[in-house]
């Protein structure tokens, strides 16, 4: 049996981030990076690459192969790989290392995290100048490899890496969420799956019907088992964010004004509470991985990342539960449920790559060359095939190799596992239907808060609490305080209490006031003297 490690809660180190980044404003402050005229190949460079994988050996092998191939092209650059399986751990380690000036050179990251890194001066390298550099930029003339030009990187994904008017990252891989459905169970309940898009109404209706099959003996007629979670959602922050987006309801403004705690959110939470009460819904944090329940015939609608598709379905190449517990069923793959199926909206997610600034511009340039190498067709295609990811460049997508890969869905339950390729195809089929949330210093907290609302409502119902307007109002207050959302100003900066005026400042103001008083007194005295002099004359 394989095991996926139970993740620690992905709550980010707020105060630690703040406190440690404060240390950036000191002796370790670095000069802004400027692109050197040429890359000095007479020198040796050692760069570090912090990478995240999905606890997937193939992914780590691809990273290693990419490093090996890159080093063959640039023998004077040595890349050291450090592996993570959790974005939160990378974030925490980066924060710690910013204060000591020991950041990695190249790092897999999320734009939300970069927004925090940017609170330090010149910590993350803006990539605008590098993108367009004639020799070493995207598709540059002096590159030792065939990288994509800027217009070959999917513009929507590239735009996700833009913060405060500058590009601070390159997209590396993209995914979205998918709804993996036990089609057999839906049909056994007398429903027919729609052709293209699931609606929230449909999912709730089927889930309620499934939950209602529970007999007096505790066994659900629909699956013949004592366990059934009809609708199970992995990432409840995504769930809330997508629901609000589909309803065109408030979440945040682009500048960081928090709008999450609104009436639409309340209606959604009360609706979720009702479905939880009837046993139709639960979450990963409360019950476990959706894939385990889906594959055991204990879940009908499992929402998880397309980058988790290799765990989904009874033929999944990756499995956590005992093989004897897996039931046979047909898996259907859909976009996340929608309120308006004619205008589907789904989250865009996936890793990006940023570069940390160093004193030596040549070292930064070496880092940039490696980061750019990760966008070559070989790396993009190989990595995207490990899960339901899609390449971020049109260049890679249009290769015969990648098209051949897509066309062979279902040929086997490994490289061409049909659920995985369907999940990737889902994102490819919706190039204009994805979105991301605004990124600002504090956006990571807001995201966590959005999910926490659903978690707390679901737990509240399960624990016999009355979930009503008053409960939600209190939850809003508690959640805003917990995630410091009541102290984030509209521009994403904190509304800090600056405390009493320092003594030096008070002395300064007093001195200035005294000086101006004396000046005025002197001017007045001179004026009086002048008048007296005129009178005497």
Partner 1 sequence: MKKFLSVLLALGLAVSATACAGGASSSSEAASSEPEATPAAESEAATSEAAAATGEVMTYDEYMAAAVDEAVTIESCVQAKQSYYAEQGTATVYLQDEDGAYFAYDMACTQEEYDAMTEGTRIRVSGYKAEWSGEIEIMDGQLDEILEGDTYVAEPLDVTELLGTDELESHQNEKVKFTGLTVAPSTIEGDTTEYAFLYNYDGSGTQGDDVYFNVEYNGETYQFLVESYLCDSSTDVYKAVEALEIGQTIDCEGFLYWYEGVNPHITSVTVAG
Q: Could you say which residues in the range 295-314 bind partner 1, by CB under 8 A?
A: none
The binder of partner 1 chosen from 47, 50, 59, 457 (CB under 8 A): 59
Angle of helix 14-22 relative to helix 87-100, nearest 10 degrees, comes to 20
Q: Pull the structure tokens for residue 6.
A: 């139970």
Distance of CA 262 to the CA centre of its chain: 23
Beta bridge partners of 354: 107
* Closest separation in Å from C-beta 434 to partner 1: 25
Interaction with partner 1 in 91-120: which residues (CB under 8 A)?
92, 115-116, 119-120
Q: Which helix (H) or strand (E) holds 49?
A: strand 45-52
Beta bridge partners of 346: 434
Cα distance between residue 41 and residue 98, in whole Å: 28
Q: Pick left, alpha or beta for residue 119 (phi over 0 → left; psi -120 to 50 → alpha; otherwise beta).
A: alpha
Interaction with partner 1 in 27-46: which residues (CB under 8 A)?
none
Cα distance between residue 424 and residue 144, in whole Å: 30
| The CA-based dihedral angle spanning residues 418, 419, 420, 423, taken in that order and rounded to the nearest 10 degrees | 120
Residues in contact with partner 1, total (CB under 8 A)? 80
* Closest separation in Å from C-beta 244 to partner 1: 20
Q: Please check whether residue 409 is in contact with residue 422, taking contact to mean a CB–CB distance below 8 angstroms.
A: yes
* Closest separation in Å from C-beta 253 to partner 1: 17
Of 305-313, 357-365, 375-383, 516-524, the segment contacting partner 1 by CB under 8 A is 516-524
482 touches partner 1 (CB under 8 A): yes
Q: Please check whether residue 457 is in contact with residue 351, taking contact to mean a CB–CB distance below 8 angstroms.
A: no
The binder of partner 1 chosen from 37, 134, 217, 322 (CB under 8 A): 322
The binder of partner 1 chosen from 40, 93, 205, 320 (CB under 8 A): 320
519 touches partner 1 (CB under 8 A): yes
Of 133-141, 200-208, 212-220, 511-519, the segment contacting partner 1 by CB under 8 A is 511-519
The binder of partner 1 chosen from 166, 183, 214, 459 (CB under 8 A): 459
Residues near 319 by Cβ (< 8 Å), separated by ≥ 6? 2, 295, 311, 326
327 touches partner 1 (CB under 8 A): no
Of 81-89, 372-380, 417-425, 527-535, the segment contacting partner 1 by CB under 8 A is 81-89
16 touches partner 1 (CB under 8 A): yes
Our CA angle for 382, 416, 5, nearest 5°, is: 70
Nearer to partner 1, 32 or 498 (CB): 498
Cα distance between residue 236 and residue 177, in whole Å: 11
* Closest separation in Å from C-beta 378 to partner 1: 18
Least Cα distance to 409 among 318, 344, 351, 331 occurs for: 331
The binder of partner 1 chosen from 470, 496, 534, 535 (CB under 8 A): 496
The binder of partner 1 chosen from 323, 400, 464, 500 (CB under 8 A): 464
Of 53-61, 102-110, 208-216, 328-336, the segment contacting partner 1 by CB under 8 A is 53-61
Interaction with partner 1 in 427-446: which residues (CB under 8 A)?
441-442, 444-445
Nearer to partner 1, 53 or 265 (CB): 53
* Closest separation in Å from C-beta 254 to partner 1: 17
Interaction with partner 1 in 340-369: which residues (CB under 8 A)?
none
Q: Please check whether residue 453 is in contact with residue 475, taking contact to mean a CB–CB distance below 8 angstroms.
A: yes
* Closest separation in Å from C-beta 404 to partner 1: 21
* Closest separation in Å from C-beta 380 to partner 1: 20
Interaction with partner 1 in 244-303: which residues (CB under 8 A)?
286-289, 292
Least Cα distance to 4 among 255, 295, 224, 281 occurs for: 295
Strands 45-52 and 177-182: unpaired
- In 365-509, beta strands by DSSP E: 390-391, 434-435
Nearer to partner 1, 202 or 440 (CB): 440
Cα distance between residue 3 and residue 5, in whole Å: 6
């Amino acid at each position: 049996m394989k095991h996926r490690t139970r993740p620690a809660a992905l709550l980010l180190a707020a105060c630690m981030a703040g406190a440690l980044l404060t240390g950036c404003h000191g002796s370790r402050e670095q000069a802004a990076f400027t692109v050197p005229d040429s890359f000095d190949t007479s020198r040796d460079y050692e760069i570090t690459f912090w990478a995240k994988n999905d606890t997937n050996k193939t992914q780590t092998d691809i990273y290693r192969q990419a490093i090996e191939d890159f080093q063959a092209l640039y023998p004077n650059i040595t890349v050291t790989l450090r592996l993570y399986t959790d974005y939160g751990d990378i974030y925490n380690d980066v924060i710690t290392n910013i204060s000591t000036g020991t950041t990695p050179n190249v790092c897999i990251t999320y734009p939300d995290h970069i927004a925090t890194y940017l609170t330090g001066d010149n910590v993350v390298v803006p990539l605008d100048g590098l993108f367009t550099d004639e020799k070493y930029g995207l598709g540059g003339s002096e590159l030792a490899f065939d990288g994509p030009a800027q217009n070959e990187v999917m513009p929507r994904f590239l735009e996700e890496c833009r913060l405060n008017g500058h590009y601070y990252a390159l997209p590396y891989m993209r995914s979205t969420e998918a709804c993996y459905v036990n089609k057999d169970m839906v049909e056994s309940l007398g429903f027919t799956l729609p052709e293209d898009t699931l609606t929230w109404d449909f999912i709730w209706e089927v889930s309620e019907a499934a939950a209602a099959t529970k007999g007096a003996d505790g066994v659900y007629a629909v699956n013949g088992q004592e366990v059934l979670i009809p609708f199970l959602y992995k990432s409840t922050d995504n769930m809330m964010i997508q629901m609000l987006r589909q309803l065109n309801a408030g979440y945040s403004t682009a500048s960081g004004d928090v709008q999450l705690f609104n009436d639409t959110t309340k209606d959604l939470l009360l609706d979720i509470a009702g479905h939880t009460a009837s046993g139709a819904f639960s979450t990963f944090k409360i019950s476990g991985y959706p894939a385990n329940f889906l594959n055991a015939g204990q879940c009908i609608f499992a929402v998880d990342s397309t980058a988790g598709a290799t765990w989904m379905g009874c033929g999944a190449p990756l499995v956590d539960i005992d093989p004897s517990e897996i039931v046979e069923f047909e898996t259907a793959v859909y976009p996340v449920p929608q309120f308006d199926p004619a205008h589907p909206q789904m989250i865009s997610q996936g890793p990006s790559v940023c570069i940390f600034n160093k004193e030596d511009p040549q070292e930064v340039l070496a880092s940039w060359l490696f980061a750019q190498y990760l966008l070559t067709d070989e790396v993009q295609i190989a990595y995207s095939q490990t899960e339901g990811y899609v390449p971020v460049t049109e260049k890679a997508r249009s290769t015969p190799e990648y098209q051949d890969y897509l066309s062979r869905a279902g040929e086997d339950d490994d490289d061409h596992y049909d659920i995985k390729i369907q999940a990737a195809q889902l994102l490819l089929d919706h190039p204009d239907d994805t979105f991301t949330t605004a990124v600002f210093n504090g956006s990571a907290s807001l995201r966590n808060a959005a999910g926490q609302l659903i978690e707390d409502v679901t737990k509240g119902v399960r624990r016999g609490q009355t979930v009503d307007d008053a409960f939600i109002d209190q939850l809003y207050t508690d959640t805003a305080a917990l995630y410091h959302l009541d102290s984030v100003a509209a521009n994403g900066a904190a509304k800090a209490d600056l405390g009493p005026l320092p003594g030096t400042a008070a002395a300064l103001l007093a001195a200035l006031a005294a000086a101006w008083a004396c000046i005025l007194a002197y001017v007045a005295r001179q004026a009086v003297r002048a008048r007296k002099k005129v009178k005497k004359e």
